[in-house]
Amino acid sequence: MPFSSLNLIAVLIAALVGFVANFVWFGPLKMYTRWTAALRQPDDVVPGSGLSTPILFGVTFLTLVIESVVLSLVMFGIFDDPSVINGLCVGLMTGIGLVAMPALGHRLFASQGFKVWIYEVGADVLVAAVMGIIIAALG
């Protein structure tokens, strides 16, 4: 799939849904408090507090757009007309294989352990899977 034939609507919708999924994961599902506890940070330390809110959330959304573009290029490079199941599988494979696995080494070398890794990459794998489904469905 050439870069110029990307479905930008699908890419943006997938990124937006990924943004909302991260909000739900770290908000109502309470993974944020578990994550910060696993990091063993003092209660007064707020991750990301060194950046302005527009920068923090804007960069986060931009990374999701880039992830969505790459996922779309990979998926349509493999399949001419991917099904929703193909999208789910490609999303899971990239989420687990390209995001979660390298991150485990980073967390272990940073002495942060498996819990921090699970809280962080759980959302990443979920988002990649959902993005894959959306991109395939709207492809």
Q: Give 68-116 pLDDT, tens digit per residue.
A: 999 999 999 999 899 999 999 999 999 999 999 999 999 999 999 999 9
Per domain, the residue ranges of the chain are 3-138
Report the predicted TM-score, pTM, of the whole model to 2 decimal places: 0.88
Whole-number Cα distances in Å, 37 to 6, 8, 111, 128: 40, 38, 14, 25
- Tens digits of residue pLDDT in 11-26: 999 999 999 999 999 8
